Amino acid sequence: MIGKSFFNPAFVVTAAFIGPGTITMCILTGTNYGFDLLWAVLCSTLITIFIQNIAARISFYSKKGLATTILGNEKNKILKILLICLIFSSIFIGNSAYEAGNLSGTLIGTNGILNLLSIKLSNFIQLTILCLIIVIIIFINNYKILSNILMLIVAFMSLSFLISSFVTKPDFIEILKGLFIPSFNSKNVLNVVGIMGTTVVPYNLFLHAALVNKKYKDINSIKLDTIIAVSIGGVISICIIVTSASLQGANITNPSEIRGLLEPFYGNISNWIINLGFFCAGLTSSITAPIAAAIIFCECFNLKLNGFYYKLVSITVVLIGFIFSSIYTLPIQIILFAQVANGILLPVLGVLLFVLINKKTNEPPKKNDYDKIILLLIELFFIFLCVSSILKIFNV
């Protein structure tokens, strides 16, 4: 039932790009730095295409999920426990952070919609209702129709940013400079890490791989679908930054201020588009994140999907997201924190991929050797970003 809840495995990748984290991160990046960090979107998109293909390819050849492949045939108990801890930190903690951001994004949408309808409802009550809806959907375990409807609305908002990026008449020479001439310093390091954290989504590797064998019959279809899905996400992110750059210097602290990005094209209904988009993007991601964590947990411990532990892990992730979303009153800051936190965890993902790529599968060994070299460079880049962001956080 889980596998049938998506258009195809590559849809999971696209869904990660159009969540509230990406929208907010790209808007803040555009308003604060203009086109300067477009290179980070391009870089993170290429990295995602590469590692997503590795994960899907290994799963295709091994006929197993990633967690099962990583832990399979590992006789050293200490190493096995360590690997489980790495998977736990990368997925469970990461997904909990994402969930807080997802719920906060959904709250931005519900607040805006209720304000437009002149209905007053506290944030706590809104969050409680949202979490109950998510838990019910997880228990029912069939949200195909709901997911499709919500994704269409999110796609419409994404298309709106695409159109708006041209309406704002940006300087295309400056866009090219932003894409191919990296700008990196102590001021923008957290934004760079946040872009990486919202694009290179750890749980997507595991979830995509878990669904690969349900859909694909040949490796070329996997590669093509992944390239298309991730590239679409990258283009959407770039368009949001380009559109937001027209308001460079604006200090966006309240979600309602974001409507100004689409007003030149849609006028008064831009408020509805932004709020509906945040609501739908947040709700779809709020459903996907806990389900992904539960699937991976069940893979690690060879547990039955849709059983007690599957539901327990799903609800726990939702509950943690609910707690953090309730405590903090600035949704945009929660979303920003979630993306940066996941960006800092990326070196852990790199380690897991190294373990994965060294496992014996039926894939061509030559290709595997090339992948190891590229993956090493990516891991060094992840470590550099992680250290830089930690130094920035502690003002070292």
**DSSP of 255-282, one letter per residue?**
GGGGGGGTHHHHGGGHHHHHHHHHHHHH
pLDDT at 253 over 80: no
Long-range (24+ apart) CB contacts under 8 A made by 125-134 are 127/103, 127/322, 127/325, 127/326, 128/322, 130/103, 130/106, 130/283, 130/286, 131/103, 131/318, 131/319, 131/321, 131/322, 133/283, 134/283, 134/286, 134/287, 134/290, 134/318
pLDDT at 319 over 80: yes
CATH architecture of 3-393: Up-down Bundle (1.20)
Q: At what angle do helices 94-116 and 270-300 cross, to 10 degrees?
A: 150
Mean pLDDT of the chain: 83
What average pLDDT does the segment 250-257 reach? Answer: 66
> What six digits make up the tokens of 234?
């990258």
CB 279 within 8 A of CB 101: no
CB 314 within 8 A of CB 294: yes
- Is residue 350 packed enough to be buried (19+ CB in 10 Å), middle (13-18) or exposed (0-12)? buried
Question: Which pLDDT value is given to residue 143?
Answer: 58
Question: Which pLDDT value is given to residue 118?
Answer: 93
pLDDT at 249 over 90: no
How do residues 44-84 score in pLDDT, each as one tens digit? 999 999 998 888 888 888 888 788 887 876 678 888 888 88
Residue 201 vs residue 257, higher pLDDT: 201
Question: Which pLDDT value is given to residue 357?
Answer: 82
pLDDT at 7 over 60: no
Residue 265 vs residue 94, higher pLDDT: 94
Each domain of the chain, given as residue ranges in start order, spans 3-393
Question: Which pLDDT value is given to residue 296?
Answer: 84
CB 55 within 8 A of CB 353: yes
- Structure-token match 């499709």, residue found: 148
pLDDT at 14 over 80: no
CB 91 within 8 A of CB 293: yes
How do residues 321-375 score in pLDDT, each as one tens digit? 999 888 876 777 788 888 888 888 899 888 888 887 877 665 655 566 788 899 9
> What six digits make up the tokens of 155?
């796609």
Q: The whole model's pTM is what?
A: 0.87
- pLDDT band of residue 1 (cuts 50, 70, 90) is very low
CB 85 within 8 A of CB 307: no
Range scoring the smallest mean pLDDT among 176-180, 317-321, 355-359 = 355-359
Q: At what angle do helices 38-62 and 202-215 cross, to 10 degrees?
A: 40
For the ranges 71-85, 244-258, 280-294, 358-372, the maximum mean pLDDT occurs at 280-294
CB 45 within 8 A of CB 234: yes
What average pLDDT does the segment 216-224 reach? Answer: 79
Question: Which pLDDT value is given to residue 323?
Answer: 92
Question: Which pLDDT value is given to residue 96?
Answer: 86
- What is the CA angle 155-4-66, rounded to 5? 95
- pLDDT band of residue 189 (cuts 50, 70, 90) is very high
- Structure-token match 């679409």, residue found: 232
CB 197 within 8 A of CB 339: yes
What average pLDDT does the segment 134-147 reach? Answer: 75
pLDDT at 6 over 50: no
Q: Percent of the chain at pLDDT above 70? A: 85
Long-range (24+ apart) CB contacts under 8 A made by 186-190 are 186/388, 186/392, 188/32, 188/33, 188/36, 188/37, 189/385, 189/388, 189/389, 189/392, 190/340, 190/389, 190/392, 190/393
**Residue 60 is which amino acid?**
F
CB 74 within 8 A of CB 83: yes
pLDDT at 180 over 90: yes
pLDDT at 2 over 50: no
Range scoring the smallest mean pLDDT among 77-86, 233-242, 264-273, 348-357 = 264-273
What average pLDDT does the segment 247-268 reach? Answer: 70
Sign of the C-alpha dihedral computed for residues 73, 79, 85 and 87 taken in this order: negative
Question: Which pLDDT value is given to residue 41?
Answer: 97
> What six digits make up the tokens of 164?
């708006």
Closest C-alpha to 297, from 74, 89, 53: 89
Closest C-alpha to 346, from 97, 63, 174: 97
